Structure 1
């Protein structure tokens, strides 16, 4: 089922940018994808090797452009995602750091707080992402971050849980567009042979954020509790605000808009023109008017339904690593709190390594199908081991750690969606945001039935559910590849 990793596929006709191809581009030996346009000589689009940051066919000015994009876009989205994870975990940390007693949260208030946050997040993600495409992303994305930061700060002043409910809804709404908007935005500037590794670097910020948030928040609480008459849990929100606002301001200062309407202080007119030519060569279309006809075309096409269905299985298949099975098992085995905190950092470390590895291999060899198939198979093996449960201790550790690789293909999947929907900026926004929304929608309630706390640490239902999800994801991978290959053949024939 998986395509050969060592041989990139032909991705259909593309516009050539012959004036800027390097003199030795035709002589380059790495596997190439042919770009074709009527009346223009076809030139090979050479993919970089796994250890190369640039393609051998990239000209010096194209490399300078890429470095500028990496130094502005990638730096901002990485820092912003890290701050988002820090902010998102603040409420749970605040709850166990004095907020519960101060606001008298002795019932299910914490669950309700998470619920209202997800309601705002889910209901507004697609509308805000699509709305973002109507404006300049270099103002819309950091603007939403700025609002997120202000609302985060507002939480430190609450005096009752009802105020917190209202603010948490709007915090969820303000942060809802960030992930799909960034994936869409990366697709506006980077070629398909560059997207996966950039997406991976963006994605690992969440893992680094989850690993560092506990240390930052515990240190802030210990050193600031009671300072200036402010409780420690309130200081957590102030610290999050202080981290978020400078990053949002950085976004306003350095982010370029979309290539077709770019007004950047850091990119020259020639670099903007070159960026437009790069996207034209990828058949990456600029935005157009959003009409009912466009919406109908998107919602009736296979891109939407197949990619969103595929995203459902992928989004739920990381349950082993996201539902606390490992720390609960370690606690049941008598490990100390220090050991549990140390050992559980291995899983996000595995996610980071697998994300980078998948991103590099996907860009170098166009091995999306192979990488997704291998990752799903590894997750099936880990889940089978944990479903059996009565296995050697070392094998159980290995299975828990291996399950951290499940999210390693996130950047690959969203890069593929950018590639498949390259012909319409509006379709890319709708499809990518819908893929993310469907995962969060089911992730908000499905664990209540599948990953029941009473089943911990042996989540027998959960581990078997993960096996079924990965099997279905492999089946959907076959469907997705079949549809995509058929579309590429039709484009080549046309």
Structure 2
């Protein structure tokens, strides 16, 4: 692609920058949309649009054409991730949720693996077929895969328990979904208005929640793995595409193991910082740089052994289950921060002309991973403050449930609180 389009300077990074700008432009507006339009309508429609746009990239003659397409692709793709997280949090209980969010994360890692295998296969068998380079066929195949899955989304996405009309759910199953959420105190969706959004952003909760959610995202350096491999003279194009799939495979395993342990133990925060610890180890090794190939390979792969994001999303869902709109805004705002940082930070820390050995990138990643650990610990204490401030106490499952202020004031001892909440949950 670089040779065909005669890319130079920062143009490769700018493809990602324009995508990120589109993504952050659409993240919060899309939460208003799914609050008024069924997710089963809006998300598949957006996917159809970005699938078509992806195929159009195959016809690009220069970098400028790709800039506009990438912005629009990012805008429409921003509907998916926050919306799916809110949907998952509206259907699953604590002992199930982390594993389901992790499955969503695993699908991303598996898709990256499949993409690398597909690219290697296209380069080996279709490069030049029909007068098109293999990278152009890649975008065409991406669209061919995307479009039928988007159509399937109109029928498969269940919306929320209180609004679902999914044909594959029986009436009693829909009612069961509503009762399950009521039993654990998870509030149903309410109408999202500008006043409610303003109130959310005038309070510290959304900011203290979004920081641990985003920290690992812009600390990551695994996106430059391929550039290091490309600089090695003894590796073929197929090997450059295939070797990084080891990291995707590791991410798939980690995305199951850590959430499963977290669900079993009922604890979130210790496992949410594992990825940052691994990222610091890898960052230190890459900062040293002049090390054997195997050590640098290990350093690029080890951050994939954490699973911070699905655990933090689960933690946010459980902690603020009294407010569905707050949860959706935290995830959307977190994505805005992530993609805002990604729009300019790589240009500064990982300039293309310095690849594969960057002057400051890995050192700053170590700093960001360390700040992420601090942010997780601060978030843990903020949750406790939020529960006290909003008259939330823990039910027998360890989840916050709303009680009237008068009821809370009358509870003098922790044992009395637990009895009150247990009775309240049983009544619901």
Which of the five TM-score ranges fits, normalised by the shorter chain?
A: 0.7 to 0.9
SS in 2 for 1:126: helix
Distance 1:392 1:106, change over 3 A: closer
> Structure 1, residues 56-89: CA drift from partner, whole Å, max 9, x if none?
xxxxxxxxxxxxxxxxxxxxxxxxxxxxxxxxxx
Matches of 2:41 and 2:23 in 1, distance apart?
Answer: 20
**Counterpart Cα distance in 2 of 1:454 and 1:112:** 13
Partner of 2:412: none
Matched, 1:364 2:264: yes
Q: Which residue in 2 is equivalent to 1:318?
A: 220
State the Cα distance separating 1:273 from its structure 2 match.
0.5
Quote the Cα distance in structure 1 between the aligned partners of 2:125 and 2:224: 31
Give the TM-score normalised by the residue count of structure 2: 0.82
Shift of residue 183 of structure 1?
Answer: 1.0
TM-score of the aligned structures, taking structure 1 as reference length: 0.71
- Inter-partner Cα distance in structure 2 for 1:474 and 1:112: 30
- Which residue pairs with 2:377 in the alignment? 478
Q: Is the 8 A contact 2:20 2:342 kept in 1?
A: no
1:260 aligned counterpart, secondary structure: coil
Stretches of structure 2 that go unaligned for 5 or more consecutive residues are 394-406, 409-428
> Given the alignment, which residue of 332, 341, 344 partners 1:445?
344
Q: Is the 8 A contact 1:153 1:241 kept in 2?
A: yes
Which residue of structure 2 aligns with residue 71 of structure 1?
none
Structure 1 residue 300: deviation in Å?
A: 2.2
Residue aligning to 2:72 = 170
Question: Offset of 1:370 from its aligned partner?
Answer: 0.9
Matches of 1:205 and 1:405, distance apart in 2: 15
1:455: how far off?
Answer: 4.8
* Correspondence list, 1:209-358, <5 A: 209-220=111-122, 223-224=125-126, 233-319=135-221, 321-324=222-225, 328=228, 331-332=231-232, 335-337=234-236, 340-358=240-258
Q: Distance in 2 between matches of 1:373 and 1:111?
A: 28
Question: Residue in 2 aligned with 1:375?
Answer: 275
Deviation at 1:305, TM superposition (A): 0.9
Q: How far apart are residue 411 of structure 1 and its match?
A: 0.7
Q: What residue is the counterpart of 1:186 in the other structure?
A: 88
Match of 1:487 among 386, 392, 401: 386
Match status 1:128 vs 2:30: yes
Contact 2:116 2:245 in 1 (8 A): no
Contact 1:177 1:433 in 2 (8 A): no
Partner of 1:42: none
Q: Deviations over 1:109-149 (max 9, x none)?
A: 55554443332222112111331122211121112111212
Q: Secondary structure at the match of 2:333?
A: helix
The 2-side partners of 1:352 and 1:416 are apart by 20
Retained in 2: the 8 A contact 1:284–1:423? yes
Give the length in aligned residue pairs: 392
115-124 or 227-236, which deviates more: 227-236
SS in 2 for 1:259: coil
Q: Which one of the candidate residues 31, 35, 39 is aligned to 1:137? A: 39
Q: CA distance change for structure 1 residues 435 and 280 in 2, over 3 Å: closer, same or farther?
A: same
Residue 299 of structure 1 and its aligned partner are, at CA, apart by 0.9
RMSD of aligned C-alpha atoms? Answer: 2.9
- Partner SS state of residue 90, structure 2: helix
| 189-198 or 225-234, which deviates more | 225-234
**Cα 1:126/1:400, change in 2 over 3 Å:** same
Ranges in structure 1 where 5+ consecutive residues have no aligned partner: 1-94
- 1:340-388 Cα offsets, whole Å, 9 max, x none, are 5554332222222211111211221122111123332232233223333
The change in CA–CA distance for 1:161 and 1:335 in structure 2 (over 3 A counts) is closer
> Residue 426 and residue 360 in structure 1: after superposition, are their counterparts in 2 closer, same or farther (change >3 A)?
same
Q: Is the 8 A contact 2:274 2:308 kept in 1?
A: no
Q: 2 CA distance for matches of 1:227 and 1:375?
A: 42
Given the superposition, is the C-alpha separation of residues 111 and 469 from structure 1 closer, same or farther in structure 2, using an over 3 Å criterion? Answer: closer
